[in-house]
Structure 1
């Protein structure tokens, strides 16, 4: 496909040229992933976004690229590729990224059993770059502040991005360095055969990638309806140390609660045992989908979460008991008192036929959506592979 010249804007701000090699609908994680993959190939690209700046799942998350948590096979392969793409993109777009891995802490012997089984079976066989730390080895980290845990998996490939700053930086880089045109505050009403009808007029693309997030009604609802998709709503916190801070905390921290959630661990026999134990001792955690994740921000704060409530819609009402449970778990893990400075809801698509779907609609249209909360972990690889497959 031949690259078209960069479109110009007239004094009224309207586009003089409405033809592009590639049009992307949606400026969230998958949208910018497809736009970057296409722009790198020298193609003219337009991104149509209904908001002035995307503010969905991409900026409401932990920014964790949890390679170590992905199940063997396709998802692990995608995560490993996305890791390298993140490092490349961060260097070019100039946003903060931590590349020193993550810790999965075992709070008790039952959680340690899962980490041990993972280390004994799939860690090396499946190509994970990680190691099992004993309680003694763990006690040497952070001045012994995590010594009350039994063991840990130290993942070496995991990254952390401060997503609320990364997405605007990526948008600027694509626009200023690669000539991507962002058409914001504009709703795409219909897409067919390369024609995109919007509230700002019609645009023609050689190929259109539709990345609508968890909006299954605006565009091609007939495609999504048979899939019976849901969304999950997350309760999220940003906190600061109120006492006894871990000044040098420099990587994401998870606990064994995540082992019943992430596919690298969740199908292991010991993880099934752990799930039964949690159900017996702390059913509230499973009922609310709580599994502790802690991400330190570049400013010494902590992003803490999360919970999961599934349904057709995401109710706007938070449960204070859920926030308190997550805050207590984080305080126990870090051995410190924490104070909440911000609360919000995350939301993403869930319960699809796979962790994500890439669906060709016609020769000029492809739809890409996530059905899980790992868009940051695999999104760049999905964009790269999809664009390569459709455009060469």
Structure 2
């Protein structure tokens, strides 16, 4: 059988391309070296983030991806566990950043809240941690480790996408893909979504972008008593890291303040995100360290810095850590994503900023339109 599209990689970016092609009636095969998605796509917050993404195509594609998530969750049997974002800020320099953000087009639908309003919406917030608050209605949160398999099942059962697991592709010679076992798969078009694996397919082309890996640490906490969070929670550190805020001129004083007063957090790339699972536990993170081959070890000191910020923002005494894990994703110094074109029929697509869950569906539509033409 000759497919219309072959996709290498079954993470969220590969699934985004498969969905976009399948919705056009294309015959699609997705090939992955593992038995199921096991990388960044299932090790994250499941937080489909719009507000705070970098201005331009990152923000635009995040909005589109959020809409696609909203379209498919019911059919896929995925629960939306939280909606919106509460960014609670305590530093005086944060106020100007929030106000400046609200004046941009990205602030549409968002609003500034008083401390009392923020604490009413999220009762676990410490009032002193929410002197200034930004609320966004745009986000949604799913449980990644459950959502990714369910999107996969939806594609297979509803759209006829074929999945070939435990299959490594060692060469792409369009229209052919060669497996490690010597089998040949033929497709009119090929999309390679390698995640942070840069050395097997097109290594010289990927090397030209200066790609490396980012290692992050995350935790799951269990509150001592029920503490429902209607929305995800972030803090001042997010204003200094997420480019939708941090690239604003008004963010410069805040970044200097963070560098001076929270140097350890900034040096370890820490910003606070707290999301909640169906059982009431909290997914908390994260940190960022960069290396060609990051070590596999989690630092207790880094985890403690994350927990210190958590405790500064949320009043949940007696919380306990029930899980810890490490994730890695692709990173590049000068771009948040890349699309490389080895030939007319082949695309290499990588998200290089850790926002694949937030942008992957939109990127998939873009690539499929490039390969097969715009929707008529």
What displacement does 1:208 show? 0.5
- Deviation string 1:303-355 (CA, Å, 9 cap, x unpaired) is 10000001111211111011011112112211113211011001111124421
What displacement does 1:223 show? 0.6
- Deviation string 1:62-91 (CA, Å, 9 cap, x unpaired) is 111110111222111111111110111212
Task: Return 38-47 or 97-106, whichever deviates more.
Answer: 97-106
Unaligned segments of structure 2, at least 5 residues: none
SS of corresponding position for 2:195:
coil
Which residue is 1:236 aligned to?
Answer: 218
Which residue is 1:389 aligned to?
Answer: 370
- Deviation string 1:202-260 (CA, Å, 9 cap, x unpaired) is 10001011000011101010111222211100001011102x542x2122100110011
Residue 295 (structure 2) pairs with residue 312 (structure 1) = no
Q: Write the distance in 1 (CA, Å) between the matches of 2:25 and 2:303.
A: 46
- Deviation string 1:43-70 (CA, Å, 9 cap, x unpaired) is 1111100000011110001111110111
Which residue is 1:20 aligned to?
Answer: 3
User: How many residue pairs get matched?
Assistant: 370
Aligned equivalent of 1:68, options 51, 58, 74: 51
Which residue is 1:209 aligned to?
Answer: 191
Q: Write the distance in 2 (CA, Å) between the matches of 1:145 and 1:349.
A: 33
Q: Determine if contact 1:106/1:115 at 8 Å carries over to the other structure.
A: no
- Deviation string 1:100-141 (CA, Å, 9 cap, x unpaired) is 21111112322233212322x31xx44632111112322322
SS of corresponding position for 1:156:
strand
Unaligned segments of structure 1, at least 5 residues: 1-16
SS of corresponding position for 2:243:
coil
Q: Write the distance in 1 (CA, Å) between the matches of 2:6 and 2:334.
A: 26
Are residues 56 and 202 of structure 1, via their aligned partners in 2, closer, same or farther at CA, if it must alter by over 3 Å?
Answer: same
Q: Write the distance in 2 (CA, Å) between the matches of 1:213 and 1:101.
A: 27
Which residue is 2:68 aligned to?
Answer: 85
Q: How does 1:100-111 map to 2 (within 5 A)?
A: 100-111=83-94
What displacement does 1:277 show? 1.1
Q: Write the distance in 2 (CA, Å) between the matches of 1:215 and 1:380.
A: 21
Which residue is 1:49 aligned to?
Answer: 32
SS of corresponding position for 1:116:
helix
Q: Write the distance in 2 (CA, Å) between the matches of 1:118 and 1:45.
A: 41
Q: Write the distance in 2 (CA, Å) between the matches of 1:298 and 1:387.
A: 34
Residue 15 (structure 2) pairs with residue 32 (structure 1) = yes
Q: Determine if contact 2:82/2:142 at 8 Å carries over to the other structure.
A: no
SS of corresponding position for 2:270:
coil
Which residue is 1:303 aligned to?
Answer: 283
Residue 155 (structure 2) pairs with residue 174 (structure 1) = yes
Q: Determine if contact 2:51/2:107 at 8 Å carries over to the other structure.
A: no
Residue 111 (structure 2) pairs with residue 136 (structure 1) = no
Residue 243 (structure 2) pairs with residue 260 (structure 1) = no
Residue 127 (structure 2) pairs with residue 147 (structure 1) = yes
Which residue is 1:361 aligned to?
Answer: 342
Q: Determine if contact 1:192/1:365 at 8 Å carries over to the other structure.
A: no
Aligned equivalent of 1:221, options 203, 224, 234: 203
Q: Determine if contact 1:138/1:144 at 8 Å carries over to the other structure.
A: no
RMSD between aligned alpha carbons?
1.5
Q: Write the distance in 1 (CA, Å) between the matches of 2:78 and 2:201.
A: 32
Q: Determine if contact 1:138/1:146 at 8 Å carries over to the other structure.
A: no
Task: Return 89-98 or 162-171, whichever deviates more.
Answer: 89-98
Q: Write the distance in 2 (CA, Å) between the matches of 1:143 and 1:258.
A: 20
Q: Determine if contact 1:189/1:218 at 8 Å carries over to the other structure.
A: yes
